[in-house]
Chains A and B, each alone.
Chain A
């Protein structure tokens, strides 16, 4: 159950955070109307999902070809841990461009920032840990949970903009935790 919960949590953040794409959606709704709001949500969800799935791809291929070893999980774990630590230590990797970007700009920076945020790393690790069950089920959290969570969140834009969570730090902690867990788990399988 904990893996489903972690996957869901990462999926939600992938949707609502991607370097605060969700806040752009709330902002667009306030200042530019529902059409822009919907369009920006679609752009953010698609770009985030695409880059996340690309990062998870090695794990999927390894599972499909039965090439999965503890070392691949170790690699995901180490990368996730380093990524989380770096994200916490150097929080400046963050979009700070115009407040009224075109949708194409939004798509580009959402892609770049979700790649920088490394959403696929912990999801890849969790997919490998759950290799014996249904990896595609967990991966489905990315687009599905993202879309559902974001849509429900934006039913009340007034509430969305009053959230003062530091998504960068939440993600950092989550990554460090998942990374540490993945490393320990992989070591236990390698050393067995």
Chain B
């Protein structure tokens, strides 16, 4: 009897466990391209800069074309405070869990949502109902400052050992900026990441090549420079134009490279997802010489870091309809403010927030990008409407590519005080979807236009992961 009972208990115990890791984790980007299509998107919605005194929110958008609520916001998680300025956010855990030093019991469950102005960190729980996420925890700014010394939190990435969050500056709004590390389990701040920062001062984005234990960081400006709006007199010295390379294991600055003396604001970093390719792209927002934007490829050559400009997008002359800040120049800068690389490392997507375009480049040859697709959406220059006829205020800004590379989601807000300068007539938040042709090419999905009304929309994160959320240890 006892023996029979013990075998029954054994079977019950074994049957009650799920023995695989979170099914949204993939060991390689190549395998992740086979992931099922996303059904939901989480989008940062914000009121900062709009004159509306309401708390920011995380919108859950239905992106399943077969659903009756397709292209609609199905829930809004309002945060408890006003003035956070939600911006970028990321997952607590992702495919890096499958690295040899990852923690296999973690699951993709919490969204780590920092406030760019408030420096708070919200932990949003997407379970048990992913359609209606809830607020699980709030880490106040004084805890972040107390433990890490940083404020103005920006990019979030899930590493194999911890959660990493970049920060633009210190408690006084000056530099240096750096990276805050959060514990995977307690979701609390552990401290500052850098042990030896060398001459790094400005901060913005970061990402890594995990197998090579290399981290790359980029430069925007310190909070006191950027928060009041873009001032042309700050362009020469107030904004960075360098990439920094770090030894991830020793958390030590190795070297830095300048991406052209005339360019400013080295923003997004997109390493190749295949970790055997130790290279990636970075976008430079503006040239102080001719207002052009550029894309740079960074790579290692003979053991040293180097970068090469692979794309230059010129400003477009325009006499009328310019905002005050651009009138002296009589031109519209492209303002390449976001780039995204598909998981198969084949297509690079580029948003031209000023002109109002999204471009697709084939980067099969990383040094020679080839334009394969283009759509016009809003913009100071194009002012293009959505195919449905709706007006698109602002320009295409944040980009997010689905894991299979078939869809590209776009929102239109850059940064509250800068939004108001470049689009003084006001920005009504929107999210559109672009369909990607199998061999390249872009087209706007006429059925998909999410209206955020008087709020603005920034980063998009797709349920189950997307092209800029996960990192991989295997090719």
Q: Chain A: residues with CB nearer than 8 A to chain B? A: 20, 23-24, 26-27, 30-31, 88, 91-92, 94-100, 161-162, 164-170, 172-174, 176-177, 180-181, 184-185, 187-188
Within 8 A of A (CB), among B1-46: 2-3, 5-7, 9-10, 13-14, 16-21, 23, 25-28, 31
Contact of B2 among A26, A172, A188 (CB under 8 A): A188
**Cβ B105 vs Cβ A166 within 8 A:** yes
Q: Which residues of B contact A162 (CB under 8 A)?
A: 27-28, 31
Q: Between A and B, how many residue pairs show CB distances below 8 Å?
A: 118
- The secondary structure that dominates the B interface is loop
**Cβ A184 vs Cβ B101 within 8 A:** no
The 8 A CB mask of B284-313 against A (1 = contact, 0 = none) is 000000000000000000000000000000
**Cβ A96 vs Cβ B10 within 8 A:** no
Q: Which residues of A contact B21 (CB under 8 A)?
A: 164-166
Contact of B6 among A91, A161, A184 (CB under 8 A): A184
CA distance A20 to B160 in the complex (A): 13
Most chain A CB inside 10 Å of its own CB: which residue of B18, B21, B105: B105
Q: List 19 A-B contacts (CB under 8 A).
A: A27-B100, A30-B276, A31-B211, A91-B105, A96-B102, A97-B161, A99-B101, A99-B211, A99-B213, A165-B20, A166-B20, A170-B19, A172-B17, A173-B13, A173-B19, A174-B14, A177-B9, A180-B10, A187-B2
Q: Closest approach, in angstroms, between the C-beta of A5 and any C-beta of chain B?
A: 12
Say yes or no: A98-B98 contact (C-beta < 8 A), given A161-B28, A180-B9, A184-B6: no
Q: Which residues of B contact A184 (CB under 8 A)?
A: 2-3, 5-6
Q: Which residues of A contact B2 (CB under 8 A)?
A: 184-185, 187-188
**Cβ A176 vs Cβ B13 within 8 A:** yes
Say yes or no: A98-B249 contact (C-beta < 8 A), given A164-B20, A166-B21, A184-B2: yes
Q: Chain B: residues with CB nearer than 8 A to chain A? A: 2-3, 5-7, 9-10, 13-14, 16-21, 23, 25-28, 31, 98-105, 160-162, 184-185, 210-211, 213, 249, 276, 473-475
Most chain A CB inside 10 Å of its own CB: which residue of B6, B26, B99, B184: B6
CA distance A84 to B104 in the complex (A): 16
Contact of A177 among B13, B19, B26, B27 (CB under 8 A): B13
**Cβ A98 vs Cβ B211 within 8 A:** no
Q: Which residues of A contact B28 (CB under 8 A)?
A: 161-162
Q: Closest approach, in angstroms, between the C-beta of B427 and any C-beta of chain A?
A: 42
Contact of B103 among A24, A96, A174, A188 (CB under 8 A): A96
Say yes or no: A30-B19 contact (C-beta < 8 A), given A20-B104, A161-B27, A169-B105: no
**Cβ A99 vs Cβ B473 within 8 A:** yes
Nearest opposing residue in chain B for A181, CB measure = B6
Q: Which residues of B contact A99 (CB under 8 A)?
A: 99-101, 160, 210-211, 213, 249, 473
Nearest opposing residue in chain A for B19, CB measure = A170
The 6 A-B pairs with the shortest beta carbon distances in the complex, nearest first, are A91-B105, A177-B10, A96-B161, A184-B6, A23-B100, A24-B100
CA distance A55 to B158 in the complex (A): 36
**Cβ B185 vs Cβ A92 within 8 A:** yes
Contact of A27 among B10, B16, B17, B474 (CB under 8 A): B474
Contact of A30 among B16, B162, B184, B474 (CB under 8 A): B474
Q: Closest approach, in angstroms, between the C-beta of B343 and any C-beta of chain A?
A: 16
Nearest opposing residue in chain B for A157, CB measure = B474
**Cβ A92 vs Cβ B103 within 8 A:** yes
Q: Which residues of A contact B473 (CB under 8 A)?
A: 27, 99
CA distance A24 to B101 in the complex (A): 8
Could you list 14 further interchain pairs (A-B, Cβ under 8 angstroms) beyond the known A98-B249, A161-B474, A166-B105?
A27-B99, A30-B474, A92-B184, A95-B101, A96-B103, A99-B99, A99-B100, A99-B213, A162-B28, A164-B25, A173-B13, A173-B17, A185-B6, A188-B3
Most chain A CB inside 10 Å of its own CB: which residue of B13, B18, B28: B13
CA distance A163 to B275 in the complex (A): 18
CA distance A23 to B13 in the complex (A): 27
CA distance A164 to B276 in the complex (A): 21
CA distance A149 to B9 in the complex (A): 28
Nearest opposing residue in chain A for B250, CB measure = A98
CA distance A176 to B6 in the complex (A): 11
Q: Which residues of B contact A169 (CB under 8 A)?
A: 17-19, 104-105
Say yes or no: A100-B27 contact (C-beta < 8 A), given A30-B474, A164-B98: no
Contact of A98 among B20, B213, B474 (CB under 8 A): B213
CA distance A187 to B3 in the complex (A): 11
Q: Which residues of A contact B276 (CB under 8 A)?
A: 30-31
**Cβ B101 vs Cβ A173 within 8 A:** no
**Cβ B3 vs Cβ A185 within 8 A:** yes
**Cβ A177 vs Cβ B14 within 8 A:** yes
Say yes or no: A170-B17 contact (C-beta < 8 A), given A20-B100, A99-B101: yes
Q: Which residues of B contact A177 (CB under 8 A)?
A: 9-10, 13-14
Say yes or no: A165-B19 contact (C-beta < 8 A), given A99-B210, A173-B14, A184-B6: yes
Q: Which residues of B contact A181 (CB under 8 A)?
A: 6-7, 9-10
Nearest opposing residue in chain B for A97, CB measure = B101
CA distance A187 to B213 in the complex (A): 52
CA distance A92 to B14 in the complex (A): 21
Q: Which residues of B contact A26 (CB under 8 A)?
A: 100, 474
Contact of A168 among B23, B98, B105 (CB under 8 A): B105
Nearest opposing residue in chain B for A177, CB measure = B10
Q: Which residues of B contact A172 (CB under 8 A)?
A: 17
**Cβ B101 vs Cβ A98 within 8 A:** yes
Q: Which residues of A contact B7 (CB under 8 A)?
A: 181
